[in-house]
């Protein structure tokens, strides 16, 4: 159940007599005392946004400079933090089990990541959510238990010391060789990572300097937005219509440091870039000397027995593409094994970057995966996985079509990947929809998380592979009820009072934090 929305902040200093002369310091102190009282109450939760300085100044009948000075002092004490362009946020109070307010001392760079979206990314799928349609996971019912057990036993009996010993930062040589043979690349161009997320983070930290421009798709995987922002990048969006004319104009105008793309079964849209556009993109990158980062985690999840076009990395003739993938979407996200294919120089640089935080990735799972690949068992697993995913995709499409017929949403039937990308028809209070869905046990990934600039709150993403078919159908059916309920409520109150922007902000924060979203991956 979602927490009830709290009322607007009771900011009023009618008891403060107007001060004259140079008594500003006293007034600042009294404003601080009042704000500390508000922060100590239950009106704003840790991480919640405070009203703007302008709003507080208006409500308290004081100058904006007075409020700014009060906010400065509160930030210095570690009670609030301010983020440029986003406002001021409440830190965890000292009485929450700590004697010192550490949250107020975290660096501005770290706070770039301190957003509800990242919290959703990091949180495991809540076990008390009956219908987690947000989780970006393959069907774990297809996990090859017997094959995996055989591989584990083989590694323990034949390679036990190597599985537990210190290993190269680039990864276990056996797995690097296995992936190289499986994908048709040179082994010394392969680097093992802890999932694709670590690979993306390493690339962002290695390639981006503060102020650099990075072009990302709109929409795109939120994890890349977080990594690039943390590295100091300024983000420019390229529509997933993939217009090369639009992209060239962006390149000329912004001179980006890199372009990040997911051309095959794009997350979240499921779209596939044509071979002609891929070749044009490679030509454009060559002419303007721009690195391409290809996120290809879904290529092997094609459905209908038709794989997508060759990857950009396969088509690349000028060593300008760095390829990122993972076993998380093909086997299980908990294994945390991904890989990068890059020029040898970049593998060395990325390894140096990685060893600052993680000397090497767990050896046992690497050797087990090498055994699965080399034995052919992994390819056999993929055949079974794609068959089951196709059944689930068809069930999701059939159920979602009922929402289309009811005039509630539109969506496109994906040919691969794990998701349906849905758009709500007409205008609704999207935060209310997410709340209502949560109340009836359904979580979806809100569309606003997938855009770098202007939020698009009319979209949401459904993962159709995380649940068995029966639960999947029931979850989508419940979404139909939530959408209808919110639409009817909107209609009933169409002439009623309008929520203030401050109230909408509070609602959004509570809604996002209540969603058990483990993966926009």
Contact 484, 440 (CB under 8 A): no
- Are the beta carbons of 60 and 13 closer than 8 angstroms? yes
User: Which are the contacts of 434, defined by CB distance < 8 A and separation ≥ 6?
Assistant: 444, 446, 511, 512, 515
Exposed, middle or buried: residue 146 (CB in 10 Å: 0-12, 13-18, 19+)?
A: exposed
Give me the pLDDT at residue 292, please.
Answer: 98
pLDDT of residue 123: 45
Nearest-10 Cα torsion for 401, 405, 407, 412:
30
Per-residue model confidence (pLDDT) at position 338: 96
CA–CA distances in Å: residue 404 to residues 275, 341, 410, 489? 31, 41, 6, 20
SS3 content of the chain, % helix, strand, coil (to 5): 50, 10, 40
Lowest mean pLDDT across 35-39, 158-162, 245-249, 443-447: 35-39
- Measuring CA to CA, which residue among 137, 193, 132 is closest to residue 385? 137
3-state DSSP assignment of residue 409: strand
- Cβ–Cβ under 8 Å, residues 180 and 201: no
Q: What is the mean pLDDT of residues 22-41?
A: 72
- Render pLDDT for 191-245 as a digit per residue (tens, 0 to 9): 999 999 999 999 999 999 999 999 999 999 999 999 999 999 999 999 999 999 9
489 Cβ contact partners less than 8 Å away, ≥ 6 residues apart: 429, 432
Strands (E), 201-320: 213-218, 234-239, 258-261, 292-295
Angstrom CA distances, 121 to 422, 466, 475, stand at: 20, 16, 21
Percent of the chain at pLDDT exceeding 70 = 79
Please state the rounded mean pLDDT for residues 400-429.
94
pLDDT score, position 91: 74
Average pLDDT value for residue range 433-437 = 88
| Bridge partners (DSSP) listed for residue 443 | 132
CA neighbor of 352 nearest in space, from 206, 179, 176 = 206
Structure tokens at 423: 């758009």
Collapsed DSSP state (helix, strand, coil) of residue 260: strand
State yes or no: pLDDT of 11 exceeds 60. no
Q: Which of 63-72, 129-138, 171-180, 504-513 has the lowest mean pLDDT?
A: 504-513
Average pLDDT, the chain: 84
DSSP strands (E only) in 107-189 = 131-132
Helix and strand totals (H; E) in the chain: 18, 15
pLDDT digits over 292-351, tens only? 999 999 999 999 988 999 999 999 999 999 999 999 999 999 999 999 999 999 999 999
Q: How confident is the model at residue 113 (pLDDT cuts 50, 70, 90)?
A: low
Dihedral angle of Cα 400, 403, 404, 407, to the nearest 10 degrees = -170
Residue 161's pLDDT band (cuts 50, 70, 90):
confident
Per the structure block, which two tokens stand in for 3? 């927490």
Stretch (H or E) spanning 322: strand 321-326
C-beta atoms surrounding 8 within 10 Å? 13
In this structure, what is the dihedral angle of CA atoms 84, 86, 88, 91, given to the nearest 10 degrees? -100
Mutual orientation of helices 64-76 and 53-60 as an angle, nearest 10°? 120
Host H or E run for residue 371: helix 363-375
> Can you give the three-state secondary structure of 414-481, one letter per residue?
CCECCEEEEEECCCCCHHHHHHHHHHCCEECEEHHHHCCCCCCCCEEEEECCCCCHHHHHHHHHHHHH
pTM value is 0.78
> Averaged over 103-118, what is the pLDDT?
60
Q: For residues 93 and 317, which has the higher predicted lDDT (pLDDT)?
A: 317
Angle at CA of residue 498, ends 441 and 58, nearest 5°:
115
Higher pLDDT, 98 or 394: 394
What domains does the chain contain, in order, with CATH numbers? Answer: 24-108 (1.10.10.10), 119-137+380-514 (3.90.1150.10), 160-375 (3.40.640.10)
| 280: confidence class by pLDDT, cuts 50, 70, 90 | very high
- pLDDT (0 to 100) of residue 505: 41
- What is the C-alpha to C-alpha distance for residues 292 and 348, in angstroms, rounded to an integer? 18
| pLDDT average, residue stretch 462-470 | 96
């Amino acid at each position: 159940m979602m927490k009830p929305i709290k009322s607007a902040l009771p900011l009023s200093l009618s008891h403060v007599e107007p001060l004259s002369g140079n008594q500003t310091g006293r007034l600042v102190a009294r404003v601080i005392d009042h704000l500390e009282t508000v922060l100590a109450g239950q009106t704003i939760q840790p991480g919640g946004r405070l009203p703007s300085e302008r709003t507080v100044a208006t409500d308290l009948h004081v100058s904006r400079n007075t409020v700014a000075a009060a906010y400065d002092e509160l930030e210095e004490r570690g009670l609030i933090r301010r983020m440029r362009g986003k406002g001021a946020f409440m830190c965890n109070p000292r009485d929450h089990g700590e004697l010192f307010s550490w949250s107020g001392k975290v660096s501005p760079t770290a706070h770039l990541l301190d957003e509800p979206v990242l919290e959703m990314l990091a949180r495991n799928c809540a076990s008390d959510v009956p219908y987690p349609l947000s989780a970006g996971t393959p069907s774990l019912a297809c996990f090859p238990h017997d094959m995996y057990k055989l591989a584990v036993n083989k590694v323990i009996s034949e390679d036990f010391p190597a599985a537990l010993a210190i290993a190269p930062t680039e990864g276990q040589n056996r797995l690097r060789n296995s992936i190289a043979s499986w994908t048709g690349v040179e082994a010394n161009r392969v680097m093992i990572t802890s999932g694709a997320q670590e690979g993306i983070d390493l690339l962002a930290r290695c390639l981006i300097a503060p102020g650099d421009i990075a072009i990302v798709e709109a929409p795109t995987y939120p994890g890349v937005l977080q990594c690039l922002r943390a590295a100091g990048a300024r983000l420019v969006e390229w529509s997933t219509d993939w217009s090369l004319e639009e992209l060239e104009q962006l390149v000329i105008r912004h001179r980006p440091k890199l372009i990040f793309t997911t051309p095959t079964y794009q997350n979240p849209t499921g779209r596939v870039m044509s071979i002609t556009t891929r070749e044009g993109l490679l030509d454009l990158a060559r002419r303007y000397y721009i690195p391409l980062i290809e996120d290809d985690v879904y290529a092997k999840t094609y459905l209908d027995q038709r794989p997508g076009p060759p990857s950009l990395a396969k088509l690349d003739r000028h060593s300008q593409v760095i390829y990122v993938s993972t076993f998380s979407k093909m086997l299980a996200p908990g294994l945390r094994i991904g890989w990068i294919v890059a020029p040898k120089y970049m593998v060395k640089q990325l390894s140096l970057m990685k060893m600052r935080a993680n000397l090497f990735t767990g050896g046992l799972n690497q050797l087990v995966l090498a055994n699965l690949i080399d034995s052919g068992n992994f390819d056999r697993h993929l055949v079974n996985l794609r068959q089951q995913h196709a059944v689930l995709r068809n069930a999701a499409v059939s159920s979602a079509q009922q929402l289309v017929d009811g005039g509630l949403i539109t969506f496109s039937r994906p040919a691969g990947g794990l998701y349906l990308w849905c758009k709500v028809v007409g205008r609704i209070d999207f935060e209310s929809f997410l709340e209502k869905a949560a109340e009836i046990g359904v979580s979806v990934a809100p569309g606003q998380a997938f855009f770098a600039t202007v939020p698009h709150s009319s979209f949401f993403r459904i993962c159709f592979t995380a649940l068995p078919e029966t639960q999947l159908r029931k979850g989508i059916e419940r979404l139909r009820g939530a959408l209808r309920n919110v639409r009817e409520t909107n209609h009933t109150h169409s002439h009623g009072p309008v929520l203030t922007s401050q109230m909408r902000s509070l609602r959004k924060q509570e809604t996002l934090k209540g969603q058990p979203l483990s993966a926009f991956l």
